Amino acid sequence: MSTPIRAHVRREGLRLLSRSQIRRRHLSYGALGVQRPGFSFHHPSTPTTPSSKRLSSPSWNTLSRALSTSVTSKSINEGYAGNGVVGIVRESYNKWERRVPLTPDQVRALIAQSPASSPIKVLVQPANHRIFTDAEYVAAGATLQEDLSEACLILGVKQVKEENLLPDKSYMFFSHVIKGQPENMPLLQKLLDSNIRFFDYECITQGGESDGRRLVAFGEFAGIAGMIDTFQAIGQQLLQSGYSTPFLNSPSSYMYRDLVAAKFGVSSMGRDISNGGLPSSLEPLVFAFTGGGNVARGAREIFELLPHKYVKVSELEELKKVPGPHTCVYGVLVEQEDMVKLKASASSDEKIEKAHYRKNPSEYEPIFHTKVGPYVNVLVNGMYWDQRYPRLLTKDQIKGLYAAGNDGLLALADISCDIGGSVEFLEKSTSVEKPYFNYDPRTDEVTDKIRSEGIAVMGVDILPSELPREASKHFGDALLPLLPEILGANGSAEGGGVGVELTNSCITAHGELMDNFRYIEQLKSSAFKEQSLRSLRSVPEAEERGLVVELDGHLFDSGLINSVLDLMEASACEVEIINMSVRGTEGRSHAVLRVTGDKKEEVVNKVRDLVPLLPTAEATCSIHGGSRQAVVTDMSQKRVLVLGAGRVANSFAEYIGRGDDRKVVVAGNVDSEVRSVAAEAKHGEGVCFDVTSDKARLEGLVKESDVVVSLLPAPFHGMVGDLCINNGVNMVTASYVSPAVRELEQRCLDAGLSILNEVGLDPGMDHMSAMKIMDDVKERGGMIKHFSSVCGGLPAPEAATNPLMYKFSWSPMGVMTASQNSAVYLREGEVVKVEGSELLNSAEDLHAFPTMNLECLPNRDSLIYRDLYDIQEADTVFRGTIRFKGFSQLMYGIKKLGLLEDAPCDSDNWAGVVQGMLAKGGAASVEEFVAKHCPKSDAQSIADCLNWLGMNGADLKVAHPGSAIKSFCALLESRLLFEGDERDMVLMHHDIRAEFPDGTIEKHRSNLQVYGEVAKMSAMCKTVGYTAAIGAEMILRGDIVDKGILTPMDKSIYGKGLELLEEEGLVFDETCEVIKGARAA
């Protein structure tokens, strides 16, 4: 080699070790005195003894430069010849993901710059949600088509779905596989199995260096969008305080057509401030900016479009004394010394040495809340933070500022979006549609609406997607120069191969991980999956168990984890990966490795010496063991946390806890119920506390779990989901997707987690069984014209012995509340709306089960299922609730009487309550009341029901005098119980009609009829609990690989789910009537 550095490289087959591999192994072995057989690499003037100083000396830079021009890997190019055809996939990651890897103009330039002898062709999959239209791509010279199989290179922005990956191709997109998280390993495995050469944008760096500047990224657009979005929050907050300002007219970023329009809008707002001034009684508005990267620069770029002045922190106190009206806003750049100071220092102005701070954060204390906080109106946070460092602003600190009268903070724009991070009261991320929430420091209360008492908080975690046009152009401009070397003949081995930037960003090729990324294999192996439980417990046999190395920092981006694993691989010790996790938005990771063997102390000391040699890792290294306890865990069991011990929890625990490989922890607030549910599992444990209020204890249980199942009331699912995302744990619920859960969508996707909802009876089994029929129809070319689905939990006919013909196998309050929901459905092309007050008056006869006298009520909004089920062609879409005939009119009369209102009772006994309600209705008797207010109801039935419940006697006291409905539900629960020899029943019926192109009509009927087991498990408990347990089991087994907010409407979930339900005896009876050659009427 033409370099003063002597390198001896052993050939491995026909493949040379890559430059980065040599560099990495030199760092791992040569510098630390570990000799690897057949491989040596040293500088002539450098001894082979360990020396941390030499690796940071100029000779190391010389080595890097020499290698970058001397050694190139050819292995990734062989067999992937370029043919000049590139494909652009349709993005499917998120509805707001409108960005593209190449804009139409960039496509035009790519085509135009290609030589006539080998023109480049661009294929684009059709998509309606891109920021650029299909027509624009066609006009630029692209070919619009679904099939991308002709392309040698396929581009996307975010992850491509596994089922859409084409084998033997080259792909480029953001994959999030390099950290080795188990949830992303199915995608990596698919890339390997499909012989795909995969380049990750995240790994394309200047010169191919692991710590080099990223070349292909979305730049400062998060800061730009975040700053624009914050102006509206300021306007709303000031309006709440009685001030009308130009900020109120500033729309969110995504509402502008492009960045030019957005900047024009901000500039216009600035002119209004400059010309008219802000209200004279309003104090100077101060914007404080943290962080020095692209995020902060983008935010300041927008801020500087307003009339502004930058001031120093030392000038803030005097600035606040300047009277209005003010014709500009003020900015202050917050430096390190404005945030923290040495605990040993008496001065808050002493210059901070960043290197010392990063290495010794515990020696510093926060001062932002005293030095800057009292004077700031808008905090724009773009700084990096992790748990080692003092927070910028805690809840206690902001509460203290408010208590001292310093309540001027109007808005927090946390563009870094670090939940509970540097600004502690960023309690959740927000969505593009709803970018703010209100935080009141006085009460620690979070509300969705901005109020005068509190701070408007913005924490949108997909901000660049709000400016997809410019973000895409910026991204494509960086990507475009890299493409010709892949697309042309030089994309193959014969052409000399791709450059070092792409070579070192290639993760897979030829069904193998590339050298730079071979460490992932250890993380994705089945052994590792079994070992990477999050629960780390202490055991006393530490010395026998070996030494434990705990690493925290930028382990992957810096290459530190590569070097550590190589070092351990070369030793004679046995190494076990106990835990590997990633947290935060800056790629920080945490690893726990156990080392055993005679030379464990030696290898552990070498690891400790290695860490400071890579300053870009900003890593810490802790050693456990010897005389101390080592961190180990039971690797054999998956840990399932069940929240709630109500009516369906027993069946869940029984199913999920059947094997020795499951540990079921049940948490609830009634000790006897918790112990009863936990006893259903082979390895069960009960924990009794208030799950809904003791958040700290709940989080401790969540972080120890592999999956969390929330059987709590639906309003608590959002809180549980937030904890699960923060701690990297998947979650399951049997409830409908609530707005609070839906807001977690992007955070869930970013974390690579699954929150599986609607896996119960209804919703749950109804989705799965209906979608099975409808997907089959669609696959055969048919369309759904009629969809009706009804479900109900009832007493078995022999147990329906009371006037209501109903008994409770679940919450009475849930039944009463559901009976007052508004409903809307589609019938023969006409939309039918039913107000909640009239729902019980809208029941219709149901003949699906001929041996029973039944009726059904419409259930909530059926229209949404046209989109959810993809049956837009249907002219009837109805979902309903089954009851025995007569129930609805009886309950309608009771409702009209006032027993379902959340209002105080007029008496402490039921006779007095009923008489008071009759009097309010202008009636002296039930018969007179019914005749006036609900003539369709049967007065005698209502009177008989009230008498049967005991409501005609003054000696029966109400349970909750403050609420009629709570008292009535308590009475129902005490009277409408199943006796020991009675059983319940679950009924479900689908009526689905399909039409085919040849005129054939299919009428599908699907019935489910399940009876409970006397004195054992109710039908409701079985159908809800088993379905939820099957959902959790599928996540634990890896059967569910999709991420985000999920429901069981996809075949990948319902297919296996129905099979497992059938094994438990939960089987649908399906029939199909075929009418040949008919036409739908």
Q: By three-state DSSP, how is residue 431 classified?
A: coil
| Helices 939-949/887-897 angle, 10° precision | 80
Indicate left, alpha or beta for 12 from its phi (over 0: left) and psi (-120 to 50: alpha).
beta
Q: What are phi and psi of 854, to 5 degrees?
A: -125, 165
Q: Tell the residue number behind the tokens 């080595």, with chain if given.
A: 63
Quick one: which H or E segment has residue 922?
none
Beta strands in 304-345 (DSSP E): 308-310, 329-333, 340-342
- Number of Cβ within a 10 Å radius of residue 1078: 12
Residues 6+ positions from 1062 with CB-CB distance below 8 Å: none
H or E segment to which residue 947 belongs:
helix 939-949
Q: How far is CA 855 from CA 241, 882, 1069, in A?
A: 53, 6, 20
Question: Length of the chain in residues, anyone?
Answer: 1081
Dist CA 4 CA 63 (whole Å)? 9
Evaluate whether 372 touches 334 at the Cβ level (below 8 Å).
yes
Q: Which of 536, 535, 512 is nearest to 524 (CA)?
A: 512
Is residue 762 part of the annotated active site? The answer reads yes
952 neighbors 935 (Cβ within 8 angstroms): no
739-773 b/e (C-beta count within 10 Å ≥ 16 → b): ebbebbbbbbbbbbbbbbbbbbbbbbbbbbbbbbb
d(CA 32, CA 24) in angstroms, rounded, equals 12
- Classify each residue of 884-903 as buried b or exposed e, where b means 16 or more C-beta atoms within 10 Å of its C-beta: bebbbbbbbbbbbbbbbeee
**CA nearest neighbour of 506 among 18, 1067, 12:** 18
Burial of residue 150 (CB within 10 Å: 0-12, 13-18, 19+) is middle
**Strand-pair partners of 662:** 638
Q: Which of 461, 557, 706, 762 is catalytic?
A: 762
Q: Which of 626, 632, 627 is nearest to 547 (CA)?
A: 626
Encoded amino acid at 1063, one letter: E
**DSSP SS3 for 163:** helix
Report residue 649: phi and psi, to 5°: -70, -30
Identity of the amino acid at 721 = G
What is the C-alpha to C-alpha distance for residues 766 and 771, in angstroms, rounded to an integer?
A: 8
Residue 937 CB neighbours (<10 A): 25
CA distance 1044 to 724: 12
Q: Would you put residue 805 in left (φ > 0), alpha (ψ -120 to 50) or beta?
A: left
Kindly state the tokens that stand for 723: 């904890």
Structure token pair of residue 251: 């729309």
Cβ-in-10-Å burial (0-12, 13-18, 19+) of 983 comes to buried
What is the Cα gyration radius of the chain? 33
- As a whole number of angstroms, the distance between CA 452 and CA 993 comes to 54
Classified as helix, coil or strand, 1003 is: strand
The gap from C-alpha 332 to its chain's centroid, in whole angstroms, comes to: 34
Distance CA 995, CA 992 (A): 10
Catalytic residue numbers, as ranges: 762
